[in-house]
């Protein structure tokens, strides 16, 4: 597997990774009816960088974004979001993208990384981020409207780079 910056030619494949996750509404706060163009704006056009994870046999199996968490005086802390295709889950793609994102963030001059809304019911992600050195620095009661479970907690997770 390789991780590289996204190209324009990758967008259709990236959308096939993102769309089922966004439509499910269980881990990201984007509207479940987000359009392909709206998704491109938030996933490709607005972030400082977007990357894809590519498997030689399967094609694009994951993607992540990297951006300042806040403007101005908070721009030294970055934020990332990661999505792995259903076919590649449990194969270390998210772990590899997390490692890669930390390297990229350091190279871009960020001093820390913050995840603003890690849905508490996404236990695999919480465990993975903790194994990568992220701490839960706060829990937001009922901050995420889960489509099956109703209002569930979300964590803010943070790591100094």
The CATH number covering residue 38 comes to 3.40.630.30
121 CB-side CA count, 13 A: 17
Evaluate whether residue 129 is within a structural domain.
Answer: no
Evaluate whether residue 7 is within a structural domain.
Answer: yes
What number of other Cβ atoms are within 10 A of residue 101's Cβ? 23
- Cα separation, 9 vs 128, in Å, equals 30
Evaluate whether residue 19 is within a structural domain.
Answer: yes
Specify the DSSP element, H or E, that contains 138. strand 135-146
What per-residue confidence (pLDDT) applies to 145?
Answer: 98
Hey, CA dihedral for 132, 138, 143, 145, is it positive or negative?
positive
Tally of structural domains, the chain: 1
- Is the distance from CB of 147 to CB of 32 less than 8 angstroms? yes
- Is the distance from CB of 85 to CB of 123 less than 8 angstroms? no
What per-residue confidence (pLDDT) applies to 47?
Answer: 97
Please give the residue range of the domain that contains residue 38.
2-113
Is the entire prediction scored with pTM above 0.85? yes
Rg (CA), the chain: 15
Evaluate whether residue 141 is within a structural domain.
Answer: no
Evaluate whether residue 153 is within a structural domain.
Answer: no
* pLDDT values of the chain reduced to their tens digit, one per residue, 161 residues: 999 999 999 999 999 999 999 999 999 999 999 999 999 999 999 999 999 999 998 999 999 999 999 999 999 999 999 999 999 999 999 999 999 999 999 999 999 999 999 999 999 999 999 999 999 999 999 999 999 999 999 999 999 99
31-55 as b/e: b if 16+ CB within 10 A: eeebeeeebbebbbeebebbbbbbb
Evaluate whether residue 132 is within a structural domain.
Answer: no
What per-residue confidence (pLDDT) applies to 71?
Answer: 95
Helices 93-107, 123-131: inter-axial angle, 10-degree rounding? 50
Evaluate whether residue 16 is within a structural domain.
Answer: yes
Evaluate whether residue 90 is within a structural domain.
Answer: yes
């Amino acid at each position: 597997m390789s991780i590289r910056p996204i190209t324009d030619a990758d967008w259709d494949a990236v959308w096939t990774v993102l769309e089922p996750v966004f439509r499910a509404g269980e881990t990201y706060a984007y509207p479940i009816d987000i359009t392909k163009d709206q998704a491109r704006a938030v996933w490709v056009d607005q972030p400082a960088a977007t990357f894809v994870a590519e498997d030689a046999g399967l094609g694009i199996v994951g993607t992540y974004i990297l951006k300042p968490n806040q403007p101005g005086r908070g721009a030294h802390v970055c934020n990332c979001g990661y999505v792995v295709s259903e076919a590649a889950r449990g194969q270390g793609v998210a772990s590899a993208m997390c490692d890669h994102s930390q390297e990229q963030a350091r190279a871009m001059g960020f001093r820390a990384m913050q995840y603003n809304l890690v849905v508490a019911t996404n236990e695999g992600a919480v465990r993975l981020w903790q194994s990568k050195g992220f701490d839960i620095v706060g829990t937001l009661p009922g901050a995420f409207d889960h489509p099956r479970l109703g209002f569930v907690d979300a964590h803010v997770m943070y790591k100094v780079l």
